[in-house]
Amino acid sequence: MQPFTAQTGIAAPLIKDDINTDQIAPILHARGLKEDYRAMLFHRARRREDGSEDPDFVLNKPQFRNAAILVTGENFGAGSSRESAVWSMLANGIRVIVAKSFADIYRENCLQNGLLPVVLGAQLGDQFIARVVAVDGGAPFTVDLLTQRISGPGGSDIAFEIPAADRTRLLEGLDDIGLSLKHVDEIASWEARAKAAQPWLQSARDSR
Amino acid sequence: MQRTLFDKIWDFHRVAQRADGRDLIYIDRHVLHELHAHHAFAQLQKQGRPVRRADLTFAVQDHTVATKPGRDDETNPSGSAFIKAMREGCRNNGIRLFDVDDPEQGISHVVAPELGIVLPGATHAVPDSHASTVGGVGALAFGCGTSELAHILATQVMALKRPKAMRVQLEGRLAAGVGAKDVALRIIAEIGVAGARGHVVEYGGAAVRTMPIEQRMTLCNLNIEMGGRSGLVAPDDATFAWLAQRPFAPQGAEWDSALRYWRRLTSDADASFDREVRLDCATLEPQITWGTDPSQVVGISGRVPDPATLEESRRAAAKSAFGYMGLTPGTPLVGLPIDRVFIGSCTNSRLPDLQVAADLVRGRHVADGVVAMVVPGSTSVKRDAEAAGLDRVFRAAGFFWGESGCSMCAGGNGDRGEPGERCVSTTNRNFENRQGPKVRTHLASPATAAASAIAGHIADARQLAPGAL
């Protein structure tokens, strides 16, 4: 996983609550194993009915085409657990999502991929949204995970909270499976204990 | 200390605490599907990591399989690569696959409990947000992404932050023609699409105790639509009777030991929950969504709401939904003309769901201009339904009777509506474009869907055929 320390870039405002993963990364009928994650991101929202680009969609506007930070509302990433909804962000250069809150599975998928999920809460979120809207892509913001601060035009730095463990994992780009495999002996001894206490859990055989 | 059912299952399965503070929770049963598994197989192969417990891992082909009778790998051309990659990955890793032509193929959340693969007090994971369906038999299940799927294959544990505990008490007795789907939609309407975020929900109360196991699964299935981390119902005699003799469940003396253990799987009387919600079910009528998220719900006798009557935080979403759904405030739901009906998905595709629908359509016919589909949740459900003659009832009434799979729920197999169509669907998400570009989805129970197919407009099953319910 690519470590995350800080990101400076344009912040794009997509100010809506409950944006779901069907919207972020729709299942398209014509698809294959090697998917185009860059084209997948907000595939429908980016297009008009005739298939041409919708110039009004925020990520299609010239000033936001290279946005690295997406700024949004409550409960971002609700719905399906599909990880393509994170991969499609990264494929478009978006490394930070600042939201008022995230859906649980989506936030986990972000952490697995080095995409920083910043939760600002309702009040601070509204203040930051106002600054992002006001600057309209004219100047970049910096989101620094080391100092846990967002800095940029329109006001003073904003401090954000993130659980220490999640921060470390992102900063060091830790291999999640490797972290768990450090406990392989405890996993084996749990299996032995479970086999004694609830043997049916450690065996899934077809009795026929 | 007084513990909740969730605490008991979590504590038993807690293997260790990782350096980053997450609990490693052992996963007793892991079930994969073809849409996501190939990424994880490729990742593990690249890293040279073996699958730790192939014997506790199962796989199904469900998201991309065609429902057309006589289907094979190629019937849905865009699913073919996924189906073949799944087959190869399972073969290489020694994982039992319920393949396209397997007599027990079906939707993971339907197949795992009906074969007794998931059990009360067991932990379960699926790379799908509706994993908690199996909470209906008292299992603690987590939906996950693809990276977590690979993590479970390599370690057999999930690294999780301990969720909070929530209880939803469902009081009273459900009226005839009202079921778990209606209850779940009403709960989501009350607490919102993020109302259970970060929580494991235990459903209890008199209304749950009288629900058949299949309905408990419908209830737990919709838990994610209010953002819940997982949802479950404490197992009871009905659960044990339902699971007995299922092929992968313990048998003989081991069944007796399991039963002694399972009888203790309840929350202690004074266990405390971080959040409690109550709903009186006695006065509940059938429920239906009018908008584009599963909290935009009214009773079947209701009207599309005036945004001024909604909480302020819900007004913007409501206004945006009116345009997509082609509705205006004040319009009654009953009587809205429809183009399509879908009965199926992990929410409502088990045998009793199909029986309710069949009883309503028996001797009647789908209205002109309405395309109506029934897709059983598993090939076993399909076989049982055919043995009971339900396929003939549906076909005679003008329904399409399909092969098992996820089908029109997310349209990953090509089953979709046409732009602008209005569809009554027994699925779980009424998101924009989910059932096809510009398709307008109304989520409802199998009874409401069946009655609407016959009427040609949204209908109250209790009025169509009071005797059948």
Asked if residue B320 and residue B201 are part of one domain, the reply reads no
Q: How many Cα atoms within 13 Å fall on the side-chain side of residue B446?
A: 31
Asked if residue B134 and residue B72 are part of one domain, the reply reads yes
pLDDT at A49: 85
The answer to whether the CB atoms of A198 and B121 lie below 8 A apart is yes
When pLDDT is averaged across residues A181-189 and rounded to a whole number, the result is 97
| Beta carbons within 8 Å of A8's beta carbon, 6+ residues apart | A68, A140, A141, A142, A143
The 10s digit of each residue's pLDDT in B348-367 is 999 999 999 999 999 999 99
The 10s digit of each residue's pLDDT in B14-27 is 999 998 889 999 99
CA distance B277 to chain A (A): 20
Q: Residue A153 sits in which domain range?
A: 6-174
CA distance B303 to chain A (A): 24
CA-wise closest residue to A137 among A77, A60, A53, A25 = A60
Asked if residue B205 and residue B247 are part of one domain, the reply reads yes
- Chain B environment of A179 (Cβ under 8 Å): 18-20, 159
As a whole number of angstroms, the distance between CA A173 and CA A165 comes to 12
Classify residue B53: in a domain, yes or no.
yes
Asked if residue A161 and residue A61 are part of one domain, the reply reads yes
- Chain A environment of B198 (Cβ under 8 Å): 104
CA distance B155 to chain A (A): 7
B242, B275, B308 — which closes off a domain? B275
Asked if residue B150 and residue B19 are part of one domain, the reply reads yes
- Chain B environment of A181 (Cβ under 8 Å): 154-155
Asked if residue A183 and residue A102 are part of one domain, the reply reads no
Q: Residue B73 sits in which domain range?
A: 5-275
As a whole number of angstroms, the distance between CA B290 and CA B277 comes to 24
Asked if residue A189 and residue A170 are part of one domain, the reply reads no
Asked if residue A160 and residue A182 are part of one domain, the reply reads no
Low-confidence ranges of chain B (pLDDT < 70): none
Asked if residue B294 and residue B171 are part of one domain, the reply reads no
Instruction: State how many domains chain A has.
Output: 2
Asked if residue B265 and residue B174 are part of one domain, the reply reads yes
CA distance B172 to chain A (A): 30
pLDDT at A30: 62
Is the pTM above the cut of 0.80? Answer: yes
- Chain A environment of B161 (Cβ under 8 Å): 163
The 10s digit of each residue's pLDDT in B171-194 is 999 999 999 999 999 999 999 999
Asked if residue B195 and residue B310 are part of one domain, the reply reads no
Classify residue B207: in a domain, yes or no.
yes
Asked if residue A150 and residue A68 are part of one domain, the reply reads yes
Asked if residue A187 and residue A115 are part of one domain, the reply reads no
Instruction: State how many domains chain B has.
Output: 2
CATH number assigned to the domain comprising residue B338: 3.30.499.10
As a whole number of angstroms, the distance between CA B399 and CA B391 comes to 9
Quote the tokens at residue A93: 């250069």
Asked if residue A57 and residue A119 are part of one domain, the reply reads yes
Classify residue A143: in a domain, yes or no.
yes
Q: Which contacts (CB < 8 Å, 24+ apart) does range A43-50 have?
A: A44/B432, A44/B433, A44/B437
Classify residue B282: in a domain, yes or no.
no
Asked if residue B332 and residue B402 are part of one domain, the reply reads yes
The answer to whether the CB atoms of B433 and A22 lie below 8 A apart is yes
As a whole number of angstroms, the distance between CA B100 and CA B88 comes to 13
B212, B241, B275 — which closes off a domain? B275
Asked if residue A196 and residue A125 are part of one domain, the reply reads no
A-B CB pairs within 8 A amount to 182
Higher-confidence position of A1 and A157: A157
Asked if residue A124 and residue A26 are part of one domain, the reply reads yes
The answer to whether the CB atoms of A183 and B58 lie below 8 A apart is no
CATH number assigned to the domain comprising residue A26: 3.20.19.10
Asked if residue A191 and residue A167 are part of one domain, the reply reads no
Classify residue A115: in a domain, yes or no.
yes
Quickly state the pLDDT bin for A29 (edges 50, 70, 90).
low
Classify residue B302: in a domain, yes or no.
yes
Classify residue B281: in a domain, yes or no.
no
CB-nearest to A204 from B56, B121, B156 is: B56
Q: Which contacts (CB < 8 Å, 24+ apart) does range A192-196 have?
A: A194/B26
Asked if residue A123 and residue A36 are part of one domain, the reply reads yes
Asked if residue B314 and residue B228 are part of one domain, the reply reads no
Apex A128 CA angle, A127 and A129, nearest 5 = 90
Asked if residue A100 and residue A14 are part of one domain, the reply reads yes
pLDDT at A175: 87
Classify residue B280: in a domain, yes or no.
no
Classify residue B91: in a domain, yes or no.
yes
B275, B300, B323 — which closes off a domain? B275
Asked if residue B323 and residue B208 are part of one domain, the reply reads no
Asked if residue B432 and residue B345 are part of one domain, the reply reads yes
Mean pLDDT lowest among A32-36, A153-157, A199-203, B417-421: A32-36
Three-state secondary-structure class, residue B159: strand
Classify residue A1: in a domain, yes or no.
no
- Chain A environment of B197 (Cβ under 8 Å): 75, 101, 103-104
The answer to whether the CB atoms of B38 and A33 lie below 8 A apart is yes
CA distance between the termini of chain B = 45
Give me the interface pTM, i.e. the ipTM: 0.95
Asked if residue B197 and residue B154 are part of one domain, the reply reads yes
